[in-house]
């Protein structure tokens, strides 16, 4: 958790640096255009009115400290809140290490690889530098800068020791770090935002702070920032000083904003504040700001200038650089359009597009009128440090495949702003697909995301949004050798969080070199990413009549059921609705489209009960072995497991068979089986497991023969995403990647199964579309259990006259139904006539409680059909369950609690008493359930059409009191069930919420999302899960993502957990007489 937290602030801190540097540099009077001679940090003279010394230096302390202190305090509070939420689920270092030395993320990197020592120091004076950074691309710039100094300076040389922050977790590394610091002249630290690692840095540096010549720390945690010492400039009281200036800044601190937004607003007030900075600190303050500017410049030249300036001003007493001119910081605009072969950075898209169309496109032989335009979002720090080879490689690959690129960057964390500024022209999108190469969420970075803002921007752009992954936290070798693929921390930061914005296709496109820290382009991954981006772009350019779509059906459970089945889904009924919609949208479905679902089933299967082994399946294409080998480059790799093609599956003995049928440009195919059904352990554990030849031939047909523009996997779930390979971050050798190739993948997935939908998203590059699961109904009673229920009903009226004989019958029948395993019943030969009336009531109450528990178990009712509105009964079943749950985060009481309160009881007491066998409370509990269903039915009847379906929702609480003064229909229904004291105001908030939920059910976009995906448009993201617990799952038709780690646990979840644990402990105490000593989950 803390490792996630560290990287979360990487770009955040860089943004703060940029804003601070730009504003303070200007306010302090430094001009980046002034060439600095070697006698200190010279710049333009400070104006007297800008920096007027105050009477008391102690009162003024440091103006910069006063500016930053309230913001750092705010940031610390945010950090503490986030760390508290993560504390329960934070993994230990051992849990996240991928091998090699140490327990950190950079498990195979070695600090000694970064040590720079002059080859021939001679009589030159040597100054020693130690640095700790989080961002690995600075490693290369620092090493190169030191080597340039050693090669180019006659009188001085530098010895440099560098550490990646995570390496300090290793005890041996930390001990060496402390030794290096003890001998250092200059210490540089940046982005140290992990508490335990910040403590280590302070422990190592603080004892030597006064003896070092300069300590330069860029935004980090306050304890580390307080180490800063640049001459008389210090931040020793950062976050602690109490003075007029600090109070002023606290009072004017923006409320309700994130740290970076607060920083942006506060720096605008700095010119008013800087006059409080003591005059004798001005020179050293400018030194710090100049250091910031050089650091942000990032290039080896800028870092060289930074080190020489610090050395000449604070390390050496005499000027050893006399006559040398140190170049001022070289910076690029904070936001712009950067192309590796463009003559400059463009700050408007009009200028860039003119250059692209008139100069660049003709040069590379691309027709700008026909080429797709791929928008690419870049990270400015990689451009600054010239660590941009991976960017250049992808841009060149897209252009080699006939596309044009609009590459934008920003120095802030809000990447939505350059999208708004550069991806639109005259209000219209100028890109066909967007690829985010930063590896972060679009707005706010990994720790302070603003997903609603990101979604709003991407929806306005309305283009597919791909988020490729640079392997920031792993070396290339670690990723390549890992069976997991991406490191779990990187999955959280650079896959899971972008998915909340609606990102798809987390394709690795670069790795980190373990020695230099520079990014290494992964050529085959970049080729895959470029081809897939262009295929997505083609969907918005092609006419629907020309698009080819492959619809793939399964056998669910995989190869254990009939072909064309999926979890909770009426597959062929849904496909039929989809075909009708596609035809209306202009897709070519040929002249022989079936007129009903039965005809569609017959065209594909010829037999409703067909399984994968059925000889009746329709053959759409026979692929010869020669064609298969030619079109499937990895065919030879499958022979280890399956022998030479055609093999034994999906073959007629000579050719490989593709099952399915074509209707014009739409192919409905049957995905082949796993092939391992008789030996599932082989698939799980065999290192060389692979799909069989028939499976490979199916996807080869889709990509190379049919040349499909998109594939639609229909329902939960198939086998593609579970094929052998890495878990996340596919390589070119992983079978999901090999099989899907460049075809865009749309995938209908059950809304209640986000975990496996996430697997499909990450391993088979699916743009998921959620579909609603059928409503859950009470399981009910049958046979012997039903007879027990009937006996209990008769006992209620005859308990005093014939009670004993009826209880004997209840006990005997309960034993027949094996209820004695769950309920403590009298022995078979015991006559309950010997018991008192109350004792018999307890026995009956316990049996009744158990059969009510069985009866109320929820089971899915029927199958869902995509594109068909719910029936009234389905709506009622869904709303009954939603109405039964308390939602404290929305201040909504569930209907059970409202009804219990109306009779002077607490619902938890009723449940607890009923569970203990109290017959009266069991009856009351059952009456509450029946009343809930009656009230919900009355509310839904307002919106039910003549066909018994809900297509439009009418207000549930309209015309209160209009029914002859009797109140709402829901109130009337409750009164009929005996709840006379409930009033409409008690119900208004709950039924307003139910009205909203019903509207979400009716407003499903399942079919709309399919058409949008095929049009090359953005699919709105949304959570998956149980729509009863979380109605935000509705409306369906969303690109599902897994849990938002910052949204859990909810208040409702905590309350529910407490109730469950309390009941568990009560039961344990009642049955065992003591609390449990241990609990296993």
* pLDDT band (50, 70, 90) for residue 914: confident
- Whether cis (ω within 30° of 0) applies to the bond prior to 1035 is yes
Of 32, 26, 18, the closest CA to residue 305 belongs to: 32
In terms of average pLDDT, the best of 278-287, 458-467, 835-844 is 458-467
Average pLDDT of the segment spanning 662-682: 80
pLDDT at residue number 738: 97
* pLDDT band (50, 70, 90) for residue 18: very low
Q: What are phi and psi of 2, to 5 degrees?
A: -70, -30
Residues in the chain: 1081
**How confident is the prediction for the chain on average, in pLDDT?**
80
pLDDT at residue number 210: 93
* pLDDT band (50, 70, 90) for residue 67: very low
Give the bridge partners for 1046, in sequence order: none
Question: Rounded to 10 degrees, what is the CA torsion of 158, 218, 179, 3?
Answer: -130
HEC assignment per residue over 29-94: CCCCCCCECCCCCCCCCCCCCCCCCCCCHHHHCCHHHHHHHHHHHHHHHHHHHHHHHHHHHCCCHH
* pLDDT band (50, 70, 90) for residue 221: confident
pLDDT at residue number 610: 64
Give the bridge partners for 770, in sequence order: 749
Distance of alpha carbon 647 from alpha carbon 199, whole angstroms: 62
Question: Is 34's pLDDT higher than 50?
Answer: no
Question: Is 253's pLDDT higher than 60?
Answer: no
pLDDT at residue number 450: 87
- pLDDT tens digits, one per residue of 962-971: 444 567 889 9
pLDDT at residue number 246: 43
Of 94, 96, 91, 104, the closest CA to residue 167 belongs to: 104
Token reading at 799: 């308990």
Question: Is 705's pLDDT higher than 50?
Answer: yes
* pLDDT band (50, 70, 90) for residue 1045: low
Average pLDDT of the segment spanning 13-28: 42
Give the bridge partners for 894, in sequence order: none
Average pLDDT of the segment spanning 508-523: 85
Name which of 255-259, 352-356, 376-380, 1017-1021 the model is least confident about.
255-259
Average pLDDT of the segment spanning 968-975: 90
Contact 883, 855 (CB under 8 A): no
Q: Which string of DSSP letters, residue by residue, matches 549-572?
A: EEEEE-BTTTTTS-BT-BTTB-HH
- Residue entry with tokens 């003119």: 354
Average pLDDT of the segment spanning 155-183: 92
Determine whether 1044 is exposed, middle or buried from the number of CB atoms within 10 Å of its CB (0-12, 13-18, 19+).
middle
Distance of alpha carbon 339 from alpha carbon 355, whole angstroms: 11
pLDDT at residue number 1007: 95
pLDDT at residue number 452: 92
pLDDT at residue number 566: 87
Determine whether 95 is exposed, middle or buried from the number of CB atoms within 10 Å of its CB (0-12, 13-18, 19+).
exposed
Distance of alpha carbon 218 from alpha carbon 188, whole angstroms: 8
pLDDT at residue number 1001: 84
Helix (H) / strand (E) element for 749: namely strand 745-750
Distance of alpha carbon 746 from alpha carbon 551, whole angstroms: 9
Q: Is 287 left (phi over 0), alpha (psi -120 to 50) or beta?
A: alpha
State the sign of the Cα–Cα–Cα–Cα dihedral 563, 569, 570, 574.
negative
Distance of alpha carbon 534 from alpha carbon 536, whole angstroms: 5
Average pLDDT of the segment spanning 788-796: 80
Question: Is 261's pLDDT higher than 50?
Answer: no
Token reading at 437: 């190469």
Average pLDDT of the segment spanning 311-332: 72
CB atoms within 10 A of CB 598: 12
* pLDDT band (50, 70, 90) for residue 1047: low
pLDDT at residue number 664: 95
In terms of average pLDDT, the best of 145-149, 456-460, 994-998 is 456-460
Question: Rounded to 10 degrees, what is the CA torsion of 622, 626, 628, 630?
Answer: -140
Of 373, 381, 521, 372, the closest CA to residue 438 belongs to: 381
DSSP-derived letter for residue 98 is: -
Strand ranges inside 531-665, DSSP E: 549-553, 619-624, 655-663
Question: Rounded to 10 degrees, what is the CA torsion of 236, 237, 239, 241?
Answer: -170
- Pairing label, strands 335-337, 710-714: unpaired
Question: Is 5's pLDDT higher than 50?
Answer: no
pLDDT at residue number 357: 94
- pLDDT tens digits, one per residue of 381-410: 888 888 899 999 999 999 999 999 999 998
pLDDT at residue number 491: 86
pLDDT at residue number 763: 95
pLDDT at residue number 399: 96
- pLDDT tens digits, one per residue of 855-898: 767 677 788 999 888 888 888 888 998 999 888 878 899 999 99
Question: Is 258's pLDDT higher than 70?
Answer: no
CB atoms within 10 A of CB 856: 13
Average pLDDT of the segment spanning 739-761: 94
pLDDT at residue number 382: 87
Average pLDDT of the segment spanning 532-553: 97
Between residues 11 and 1079, which one has the greater pLDDT?
Answer: 1079
Question: Is 703's pLDDT higher than 50?
Answer: yes
Question: Is 84's pLDDT higher than 50?
Answer: no
Between residues 803 and 938, which one has the greater pLDDT?
Answer: 938
């Amino acid at each position: 958790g803390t490792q996630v937290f560290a990287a979360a602030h990487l770009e955040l801190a860089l943004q703060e640096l940029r804003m601070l540097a730009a504003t303070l540099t200007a306010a302090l009077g430094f001009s980046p255009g002034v060439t600095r001679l070697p006698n200190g940090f010279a710049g333009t003279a400070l104006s007297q009115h800008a920096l007027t010394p105050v009477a008391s230096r102690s009162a003024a302390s440091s103006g910069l400290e006063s500016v930053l202190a309230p913001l750092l305090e705010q940031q610390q509070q945010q950090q503490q809140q986030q760390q508290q939420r993560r504390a329960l689920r934070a993994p230990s270092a051992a849990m996240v290490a991928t091998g090699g030395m140490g327990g950190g993320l950079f498990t195979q990197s070695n600090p000694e690889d970064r040590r720079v020592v002059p080859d021939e120091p001679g009589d030159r004076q040597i100054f020693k530098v130690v640095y700790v950074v989080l961002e690995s691309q600075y490693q290369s710039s620092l090493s190169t800068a030191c080597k340039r100094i050693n090669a180019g300076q006659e009188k001085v040389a530098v010895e440099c020791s560098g550490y990646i922050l995570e390496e300090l977790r290793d005890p041996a590394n930390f001990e060496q770090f402390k030794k290096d610091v003890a001998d250092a002249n200059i210490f540089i630290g940046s982005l140290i935002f992990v508490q335990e690692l910040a403590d280590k840095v302070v422990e190592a540096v603080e004892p030597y702070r006064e003896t070092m010549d300069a300590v330069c720390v860029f935004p980090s945690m306050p304890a580390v920032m307080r180490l800063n010492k640049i001459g008389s400039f210090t931040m020793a009281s950062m976050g602690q000083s109490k003075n007029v200036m600090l109070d002023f800044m606290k009072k004017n601190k923006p409320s309700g904003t994130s740290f970076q937004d607060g920083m942006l607003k506060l720096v605008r007030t700095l010119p008013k504040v800087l006059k409080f900075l003591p005059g004798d600190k001005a020179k050293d303050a400018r030194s710090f700001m100049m250091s910031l500017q050089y650091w942000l410049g990032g290039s080896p030249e800028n870092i060289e200038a930074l080190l020489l300036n610090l050395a000449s001003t604070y390390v050496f007493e005499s000027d050893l650089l006399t006559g040398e001119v140190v170049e001022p910081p070289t910076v690029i605009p904070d936001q712009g359009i950067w192309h590796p072969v463009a003559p400059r950075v463009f700050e408007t898209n009009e200028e860039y597009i003119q250059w692209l169309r008139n100069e660049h496109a003709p040069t590379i032989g691309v027709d700008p009128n026909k080429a797709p335009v791929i928008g690419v979002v870049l990270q400015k720090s990689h451009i600054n440090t010239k660590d941009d080879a991976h960017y250049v490689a992808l841009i060149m690959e897209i252009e080699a495949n006939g596309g044009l690129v609009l590459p934008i960057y920003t120095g802030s964390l809000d990447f939505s702003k350059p999208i708004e500024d550069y991806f639109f022209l005259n209000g219209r999108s100028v890109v066909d697909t967007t690829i985010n190469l930063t590896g972060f969420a679009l707005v706010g970075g990994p720790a302070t995301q603003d997903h609603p803002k990101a979604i709003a921007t991407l929806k306005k752009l309305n283009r597919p949004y791909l988020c490729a992954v640079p392997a920031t936290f792993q070396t290339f070798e670690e990723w390549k050798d890992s069976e997991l693929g991406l490191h779990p921390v990187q999955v959280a930061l650079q896959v899971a969080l972008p998915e909340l914005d609606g990102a798809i296709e987390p394709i690795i496109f670069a790795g980190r070199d373990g020695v230099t820290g520079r990014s290494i382009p992964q050529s085959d991954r970049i080729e895959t990413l470029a081809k897939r981006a262009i295929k997505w772009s083609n969907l918005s350019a092609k006419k629907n009549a020309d698009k080819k779509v492959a619809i793939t059906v399964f056998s669910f459970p995989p190869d254990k059921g009939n072909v064309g089945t999926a979890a909770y889904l009426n597959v062929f009924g849904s496909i039929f609705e989809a075909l009708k919609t596609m035809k209306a949208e202009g897709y070519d479905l040929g002249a022989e489209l079936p007129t009903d679902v039965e005809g569609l089933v017959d065209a594909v299967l010829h037999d409703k009960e067909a399984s994968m082994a059925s000889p009746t399946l329709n053959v759409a294409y026979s692929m010869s072995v020669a064609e298969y080998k030619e079109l499937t480059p990895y065919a030879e790799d499958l022979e280890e497991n399956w022998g030479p093609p055609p093999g034994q599956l999906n073959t007629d003995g000579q050719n490989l068979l593709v099952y399915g049928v074509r209707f014009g440009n739409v192919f409905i195919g049957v995905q082949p089986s796993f092939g391992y059904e008789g030996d599932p352990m082989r698939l799980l554990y065999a290192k060389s497991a692979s799909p069989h030849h028939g499976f490979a031939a199916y996807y080869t047909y889709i990509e190379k023969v049919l040349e499909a523009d998109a594939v639609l996997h229909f329902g939960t779930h198939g086998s593609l995403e579970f094929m052998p390979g890495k878990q996340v971050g596919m390589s070119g050798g992983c079978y999901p990647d090999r099989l899907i190739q460049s075809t865009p993948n749309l995938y209908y997935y059950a809304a209640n199964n986000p975990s496996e939908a996430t697997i499909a998203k990450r391993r088979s590059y699916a743009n998921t579309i959620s579909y609603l699961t059928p409503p859950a109904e009470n399981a009910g009673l049958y046979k012997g259990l039903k007879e027990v229920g009937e006996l209990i009903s008769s006992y209620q009226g005859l308990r005093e006259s014939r009670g004993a004989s009826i209880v004997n019958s209840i006990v005997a029948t309960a034993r027949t139904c094996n209820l004695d395993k769950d309920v403590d019943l009298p022995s078979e030969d015991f006559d309950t006539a010997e018991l008192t009336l109350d004792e018999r009531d307890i026995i009956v109450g316990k049996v009744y409680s158990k059969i009510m528990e069985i009866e109320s178990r929820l089971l899915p009712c029927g199958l869902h059909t995509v594109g068909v509105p719910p029936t009234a009964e389905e709506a009622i079943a869904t709303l009954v369950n939603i109405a039964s749950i308390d939602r404290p985060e929305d201040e909504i009481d569930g209907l059970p609690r409202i009804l219990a309160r109306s009779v002077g009881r607490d619902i938890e007491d009723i449940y607890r008493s009923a569970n203990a066998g109290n017959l009266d409370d069991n009856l009351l509990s059952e009456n509450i359930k029946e009343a809930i269903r009656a009230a919900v039915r009355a509310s839904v009847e307002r919106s039910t059409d003549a066909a018994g379906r809900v297509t439009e929702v009418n207000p549930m609480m309209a015309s209160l009191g209009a029914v002859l003064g009797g109140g709402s229909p829901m109130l009337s229904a409750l009164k009929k069930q005996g709840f006379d004291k409930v009033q409409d105001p008690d119900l208004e908030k709950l039924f307003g919420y139910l009205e909203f939920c019903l509207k979400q059910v009716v407003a499903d976009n399942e079919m709309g999302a399919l058409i949008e995906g095929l049009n090359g448009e953005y699919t709105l993201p949304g959570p998956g899960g149980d729509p009863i617990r979380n109605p935000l799952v509705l409306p369906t038709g969303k690109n599902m993502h897994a849990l938002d780690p910052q949204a859990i646990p909810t208040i409702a979840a905590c309350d529910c957990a407490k109730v469950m644990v309390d009941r568990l402990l009560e039961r344990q105490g009642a049955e065992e007489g003591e609390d449990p000593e241990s609990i296993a989950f």
